[in-house]
């Protein structure tokens, strides 16, 4: 049978009245030792008898438990025979001690046979919820079954108990091989076969069995559930691989497209500048000049978009380095606001201490603040209000950008940092020069500077973006 890497532990069923067995065995052991001790003291009998018989006894009991009774009987007979033989040569023997040590050997066999390496409580717990069953020693009739094993085959426990094992075995050769090994006292592991369920369905299992003096203990692993798990795991891995391939393809496409678009834009941009700056030389009137200016503005917008696509591709490929420095936060925020004249379109409130400094790459963090502030203004309605605040604790510094805009629906929050995603794509307007790249680039720059970015939003009330930066050594606040 094919072996698998997984090895189910065989089930162990304690004999009925296990507590009585335990009391009887332990009590018998104590009684025998007490009698030997008392007898040795009273009659000065030598107690240092050879105990070498225990070595084969224990070995046989562990590996071939159904042979241990016969082994113990043979060893006891051999011990008695050797002792009697020595007696005929003048060796002084004590028949009482012979009897007591014979009992001691028999006790050792019984203890090892009835008490497997695990305790009864552990054995009971391990089989209670697992598919397991016991077989009669010679007829291989099912004598007991756990609820899990009965459920696996679709039977009740009562229906299984007393059933011939061959009735649920699909392959008779498999049954003969498995039962034959148990009958010879060989422990079986990793035996792959197929049972037949009550509905006639095939139930692939991996069996393990341990021979015993009274019954053979067996356990079964449901290979159909294992196959389902493996199939699901394989499907998950395949989906992950496809996502990785698609992401790589997207990055390659963005990089290639950006380069291809950037190349023809350069001469167009140059010629437009040339025509507009020297209109008289080329005989361009006011109306034509105005149209050329519109063309130039749009080419500028396209170049910005292409540059941002290239920027995103470089960030995703890990080719952008970060050289942090101490940056005065309030000054950087004011620079962003002035660059875009945000104060003319929205009411801006700053809650940033004058001495607040952060350790970041200045140019990269300028782009982060620019994206967050412009996002707060663009996705807003009059009266527009934007708040920019700073907080800190022992380990982190936080920059918070809050607006009173249209908000973001909960199901869209995770998507806003994906490239080319627009929360209001149905209202796409070129006036905003938007391609869904601002927040994805900002999020990547934040991570590059050792921080994280989070967003909270309520539809109709506004959004709050929080950039958390871990404090670096030498930060002065």
Query: How far is it, in rounded angstroms, from Cα 325 to Cα 335?
Result: 17
pLDDT of residue 212: 79
CB 108 within 8 A of CB 58: yes
pLDDT of residue 93: 57
CATH number of 325-470: 3.30.565.10
Query: Taking the domains of the chain in order of start, what are their residue ranges?
Result: 18-114, 235-316, 325-470
Which of the two residues, 75 and 200, has the higher pLDDT score?
200
pLDDT of residue 15: 39
pLDDT band of 57, cuts 50, 70, 90: low
Average pLDDT over residues 5-33: 50
Average pLDDT over residues 267-285: 82
pLDDT band of 87, cuts 50, 70, 90: low
User: 29 pLDDT exceeds 80?
Assistant: no
Inter-residue long-range contacts of 327-331, CB under 8 Å, 24+ positions, other chains counted? 327/357, 327/358, 327/359, 327/360, 327/362, 327/365, 328/356, 328/357, 329/356, 329/357, 329/358, 329/390, 329/399, 330/354, 330/356
Which of the two residues, 289 and 250, has the higher pLDDT score?
289
When mean pLDDT is compared across 64-78, 245-259, 454-468, the lowest value belongs to: 64-78
Tens of pLDDT along 164-193?
999 999 999 999 999 999 988 888 988 989
User: Chain-wide mean pLDDT for the chain?
Assistant: 76
User: 51 pLDDT exceeds 60?
Assistant: no
Average pLDDT over residues 17-39: 60
pLDDT of residue 33: 62
pLDDT of residue 469: 94
What phi and psi values does residue 12 have, to the nearest 5 degrees?
A: -125, 125
DSSP letter assigned to residue 290:
H
Tens of pLDDT along 303-344?
777 777 777 777 777 778 888 999 999 999 999 999 889 989
User: 88 pLDDT exceeds 70?
Assistant: no
Tens of pLDDT along 357-413?
999 999 999 989 999 999 899 888 888 999 999 999 988 999 999 999 888 888 888
pLDDT band of 77, cuts 50, 70, 90: confident
CB 410 within 8 A of CB 340: no
In the chain, what percentage of residues exceed pLDDT 90? 26
When mean pLDDT is compared across 254-258, 374-378, 424-428, the lowest value belongs to: 424-428
Residue 404 in tokens: 């009173």
When mean pLDDT is compared across 117-131, 169-183, 313-327, 440-454, the lowest value belongs to: 117-131
Query: How far is it, in rounded angstroms, from Cα 58 to Cα 64?
Result: 10
Average pLDDT over residues 286-310: 80
Query: How far is it, in rounded angstroms, from Cα 317 to Cα 289?
Result: 42
pLDDT of residue 119: 39
pLDDT of residue 207: 92
Picking from 51, 32, 52, the residue whose alpha carbon sits closest to that of residue 96 is: 32
Average pLDDT over residues 267-283: 82
CB 404 within 8 A of CB 384: yes
pLDDT of residue 227: 65
When mean pLDDT is compared across 18-27, 117-126, 176-185, the lowest value belongs to: 117-126
The segment with the largest mean pLDDT, out of 70-79, 262-271, 330-339, is 330-339
Longest dimension (CA), the chain: 142
Average pLDDT over residues 42-54: 51
Peptide bond preceding 383 in cis form (omega within 30 of 0): yes
User: 424 pLDDT exceeds 60?
Assistant: no
Give the list of residues 6+ apart from residue 257 with CB closer than 8 angstroms, or none: 309
User: 9 pLDDT exceeds 60?
Assistant: no
pLDDT of residue 3: 37
pLDDT of residue 266: 76
Residue 455 in tokens: 């967003």
Inter-residue long-range contacts of 118-127, CB under 8 Å, 24+ positions, other chains counted? 118/12, 120/14, 120/18, 120/22, 123/11, 123/12, 123/13, 123/14, 124/14, 126/9, 126/11, 126/12, 127/11, 127/12, 127/13, 127/219
pLDDT band of 263, cuts 50, 70, 90: confident
Picking from 323, 328, 320, 317, the residue whose alpha carbon sits closest to that of residue 350 is: 328
In the chain, what percentage of residues exceed pLDDT 70? 65
Pairing of strands 347-351, 215-222: unpaired
When mean pLDDT is compared across 72-81, 237-246, 334-343, the lowest value belongs to: 72-81
Query: How far is it, in rounded angstroms, from Cα 10 to Cα 296?
Result: 80
The segment with the largest mean pLDDT, out of 262-276, 299-313, 438-452, is 438-452
Q: Which CATH number fits the domain 235-316, given the four candidates 3.40.50.720, 3.40.50.1820, 3.40.50.1100, 1.10.287.130? A: 1.10.287.130
pLDDT of residue 387: 94
Which of the two residues, 142 and 262, has the higher pLDDT score?
142
Q: At what angle do helices 223-277 and 286-316 cross, to 10 degrees?
A: 150
User: 440 pLDDT exceeds 70?
Assistant: yes
pLDDT of residue 428: 45
pLDDT of residue 10: 40
């Amino acid at each position: 049978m094919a072996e698998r890497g997984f090895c189910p532990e065989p089930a162990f069923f304690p004999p009925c009245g296990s507590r009585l067995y335990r009391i009887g065995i332990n009590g018998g052991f104590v009684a025998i030792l007490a009698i030997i001790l008392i007898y040795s003291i009273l009659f000065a009998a030598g107690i240092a008898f050879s105990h070498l018989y225990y070595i084969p006894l224990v070995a046989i009991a562990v590996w071939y438990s159904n042979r241990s009774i016969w082994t113990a009987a043979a060893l006891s007979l051999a011990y008695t025979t050797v002792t009697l033989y020595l007696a005929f040569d003048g060796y002084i023997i004590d028949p009482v001690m012979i009897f007591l040590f014979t009992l001691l050997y028999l006790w050792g066999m019984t203890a090892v046979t009835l008490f497997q390496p695990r305790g009864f409580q552990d054995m009971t717990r391990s089989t209670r919820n697992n598919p397991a069953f016991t077989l009669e020693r010679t007829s291989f009739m099912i004598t007991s079954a756990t609820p899990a094993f009965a459920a696996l085959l679709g039977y009740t426990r009562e229906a299984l108990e007393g059933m011939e094992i061959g009735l649920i075995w699909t392959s008779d050769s498999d049954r003969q091989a498995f039962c034959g090994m148990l009958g010879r006292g060989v422990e079986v592991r990793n035996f792959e076969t197929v049972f037949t369920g009550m509905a006639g369905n095939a139930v692939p299992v991996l069996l393990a069995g341990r021979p015993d003096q009274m019954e053979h203990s067996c356990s079964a692993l449901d290979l159909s559930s294992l196959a389902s798990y493996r199939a699901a795991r394989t499907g998950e891995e395949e989906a992950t691989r496809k996502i990785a391939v698609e992401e790589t393809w997207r990055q390659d496409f963005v990089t290639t497209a950006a380069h291809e678009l950037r190349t023809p834009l350069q001469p167009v941009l140059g010629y437009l500048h040339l025509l507009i700056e020297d209109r008289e030389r080329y005989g361009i009137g006011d109306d034509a000049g105005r149209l050329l200016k519109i063309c130039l503005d749009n080419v500028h917008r396209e170049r910005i978009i292409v540059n941002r696509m290239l920027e995103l591709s470089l960030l995703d490929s890990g080719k952008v380095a970060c050289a942090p420095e101490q940056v005065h936060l309030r000054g950087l925020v004011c620079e962003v606001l002035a660059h875009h004249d945000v104060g003319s379109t929205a009411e801006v409130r700053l809650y940033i201490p004058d001495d607040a400094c952060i350790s970041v790459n200045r140019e990269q963090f300028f782009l982060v603040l620019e994206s967050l502030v412009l996002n707060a203004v663009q996705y807003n309605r009059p009266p527009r209000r934007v708040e920019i605040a700073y907080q800190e604790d022992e380990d982190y510094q936080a920059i918070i950008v809050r607006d009173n805009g249209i908000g973001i629906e909960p199901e869209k929050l995770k998507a806003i940092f994906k490239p080319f995603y627009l929360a209001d794509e149905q209202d796409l307007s070129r006036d905003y020069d938007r391609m869904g790249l601002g927040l994805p680039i900002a999020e990547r720059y934040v991570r590059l500077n050792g921080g994280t970015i989070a967003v909270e939003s309520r539809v109709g009330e506004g959004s709050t973006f929080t950039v958390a930066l871990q404090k670096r050594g030498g930060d002065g606040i």
